């Protein structure tokens, strides 16, 4: 529904977008007929050119164009047009700062759930990231992305959507688990948290306890999988004022994380 988004155009705020929608201007293509009378001639020409530019960006599959122009509360709108291009990413580390070392990572895509373990297959993540046009994280600007760039020794040039400021702009402050609870998301991993994840990795690294690695990967996977639920919620909230009910993408049913983790551990021979 990016073509229904006027708030990404210069000088158009929420009030002006709502005004356009109420006038029946529900798509960029309607602007010439319905939107121009609502603005000065100069502003109308400016918006017409901006719409042409936005159309080109969408045709070229450039989510970064829109992320840079949408206010935080409305960045979830990229979901409808880039749904199959998004990689939901979460990393765990030896500590809770970007100075620490990655232990495990999970990348959730429309058709797969990939796991990465430091010392075994972490650098496979580089290849899989190239399949994504957009990365979604929670607090990734301060944590996941700097850690990855340091560990992989490369600059991640993939457009990135950090859902933490998006959710804050929608009135949901706090960490990922707190936001999930408010939205009614229930985890199979229960009260496992970032500090528990550090302990699980330490026990695996020091004692070879594969069950600890299994629990860590399940927790890591739920962190990534439920980002799609947050994205879907953000999209729905942002488009709620559109007079014509938009098609709301439905978050996929959560995959069977436990079974997929067990298969990964077996294929990587961690169970030997």
pLDDT tens-place string over residues 157-205: 999 999 999 999 999 999 999 999 999 998 888 788 889 999 999 999 9
pLDDT at 246: 65
Contacts 24+ apart (CB under 8 A), 119-127: 120/268, 121/268, 122/151, 123/152, 125/152, 126/152, 126/154
Q: Is the pLDDT of residue 272 over 60?
A: no
pLDDT at 163: 98
Residue from 90, 74, 109, 82 nearest 194 by CA: 90
Q: Is the pLDDT of residue 257 over 70?
A: yes
Q: How confident is the model at residue 248 (pLDDT cuts 50, 70, 90)?
A: low
One of 3.40.50.1440, 3.40.50.2000, 3.30.420.10, 3.40.1190.20 is the CATH number of 85-267, namely 3.30.420.10
Distance between CA 32 and CA 46 in Å, rounded? 12
pLDDT at 249: 67
Q: Is the pLDDT of residue 15 over 70?
A: yes
Task: Using the structure block, give the residue that is written with the tokens 């996929």.
Answer: 252
State the average pLDDT over residues 264-270.
93
Domain ranges in the chain are 2-60, 85-267
pTM, rounded to two decimals: 0.94
State the average pLDDT over residues 104-115.
94
Report CA-CA distances (Å) from 117 to 12, 69, 261, 271. 45, 36, 12, 14
């Amino acid at each position: 529904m990016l073509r229904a988004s006027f708030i990404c155009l210069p000088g158009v705020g929420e009030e002006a977008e709502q005004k356009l929608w109420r006038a029946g201007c529900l798509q960029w293509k309607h602007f010439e007929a319905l939107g121009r009378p609502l603005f000065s001639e100069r502003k109308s020409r400016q918006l017409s050119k901006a719409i042409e530019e936005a159309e080109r960006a969408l045709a070229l599959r450039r989510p970064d164009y829109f992320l840079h122009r949408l206010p935080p509360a409305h960045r979830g709108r990229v979901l409808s047009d880039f749904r199959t291009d998004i990689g939901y990413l979460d990393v765990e580390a030896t500590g809770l700062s970007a100075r620490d070392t990655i232990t495990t990572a999970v990348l959730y895509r429309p058709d797969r759930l990939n796991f990465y373990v430091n010392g075994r297959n972490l650098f496979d993540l580089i290849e899989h990231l190239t399949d994504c046009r957009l990365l979604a994280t929670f607090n990734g600007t301060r944590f996941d992305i700097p850690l990855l760039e340091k560990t992989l020794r490369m600059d991640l040039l993939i457009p990135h959507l950090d859902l933490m400021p998006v959710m804050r702009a929608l009135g949901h402050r706090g960490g990922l688990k707190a936001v999930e609870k408010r939205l009614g998301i229930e985890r199979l991993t229960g009260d496992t948290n970032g500090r528990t994840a550090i302990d699980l990795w330490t026990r695996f690294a020091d004692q070879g306890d594969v069950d600890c690695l299994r629990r860590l990967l399940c927790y890591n996977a739920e962190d990534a999988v439920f980002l799609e639920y947050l994205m879907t919620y953000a999209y729905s909230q942002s488009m709620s004022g559109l007079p014509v009910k938009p098609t709301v993408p439905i978050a996929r049913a959560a995959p069977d994380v436990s079974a997929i983790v067990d298969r990964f551990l077996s294929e990587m021979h961690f169970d030997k």
